[in-house]
Amino acid sequence: MSAASSAEPLDEGQEGQSESSAPPQRQRRPRARPITRDEGIEIRALHKYAKMSHEQIAAVTPFSINQIKLACSGPRHPRKPDRWSSAKELAPNKSAPAAASAAAPAAATTSTQATEAAEPSEQIPSSAHPIGEPPALRVAVKFN
């Protein structure tokens, strides 16, 4: 009878040795896609200007409520990626003014504008700048 009594099921309050050795497995969710800079700006605009709650934004976007809370509490103007702010991409093309001046005389206004954009050292002399040499972005970018 002693063998039969050990085969009996355990009471609800008691646990067997094999059951307590491994914790219950939780189902893992895949990692969520991170929010891009532009999406974060849109989420902050919906929250601030459209007065939408985090739950309302989560209902109309593919992001979780926690992601939306993080995006709303983040910096107001997130840093641009380095590839957008490099001076090499914004530097004027040196061959463009030569090609424009060699073209038709009707394009003389275009060639003078291109020459002005290509020669920033005449616009802002380095000695007049308070730090000395002007920053690359300030020299390369000219808004008309």
- 69 with 96, same domain: the answer is no
Q: Is residue 118 part of a domain?
A: yes
- Residue 108 phi/psi, 5-degree rounding, is -65, -40
- 94 with 121, same domain: the answer is yes
For residue 98, the tally of other CB atoms under 10 A from its CB is 14
Q: Is residue 132 part of a domain?
A: yes
Domain span holding position 113: 87-140
Q: Is residue 18 part of a domain?
A: no
Q: Is residue 47 part of a domain?
A: yes
- 94 with 58, same domain: the answer is no
Q: How far apart are CA 139 and CA 40, in angstroms?
A: 30
81-101 residue pLDDT tens = 666 554 555 555 555 555 444
Task: Indicate the number of domains in the chain.
Answer: 2
* pTM strictly above 0.75: no
The single-letter code of the amino acid at 100 is: A
Q: Is residue 44 part of a domain?
A: yes
Nearest to 119 by CA among 96, 139, 134, 138: 139
95-143 residue pLDDT tens = 555 544 454 444 444 444 554 555 554 555 555 555 555 454 444 444 4
